[in-house]
Amino acid sequence: QVQLVESGGGSVPVGGSLRLSCAASPHPPAGRCMAWFRQAPGKEREGVATIYTGTDWGYYGDSVKGRFIISQGNAENTVYLQMNSLKLEDTAIYYCAAKSAGVGCETPVVDHDYDYWGQGTQVTVSS
């Protein structure tokens, strides 16, 4: 079992930045597909970005491409989502998710492909 804990959510003005963190425990082996999803009120959960730990490969949804950056910590048990140039429509609960070890990442990022989920962290962008 993998436990994921997100942190870093909060309230920011339009154009601001936030960095979300997702800590995985126990320390996962290298080579795991991890992703960030978000869900706004009344909307379906949306895949934001995904990364295969231990590699430089990453993928972004069209709505965040060029503004968000997914990365991993040196210990590879933490994945970050740097969110820049935030817009009102970025307001949502953001979830960290992971696949079972050794399972590759696929695009687009679809929630039913992921086995482990964090509890979510709220991001609110205000004008």
- Give tens-digit pLDDT for 1-54: 889 999 999 999 999 999 999 998 876 656 789 999 999 999 999 999 999 988
At residue 29, the pLDDT reads: 59
Per-residue exposure over 13-22, b if at least 16 CB sit within 10 Å of its own CB, e if not: eeeeebebbb
Identity of the residue numbered 74: N
CA distance 114 to 103: 10
φ and ψ of 89, to 5 deg: -75, -5
Q: Is the pLDDT score of 57 beyond 70?
A: yes
DSSP state of 111: G
- Give the angle 105-111-117 at the CA atoms, nearest 5°: 95
Looking only at the bridges linking them, the beta strands covering 78-83 and 18-25 are antiparallel
Nearest alpha-carbon partner for 98 in 63, 51, 58:
51
End-to-end C-alpha distance for the chain, whole angstroms:
40
Q: Is the pLDDT score of 64 beyond 80?
A: yes
Task: Identify any residues that bridge with 19 across adjacent strands, giving them in sequence order.
Answer: 82
CA distance 76 to 90: 26
Q: Is the pLDDT score of 106 beyond 90?
A: no
pLDDT grade for 77, boundaries at 50, 70 and 90: confident
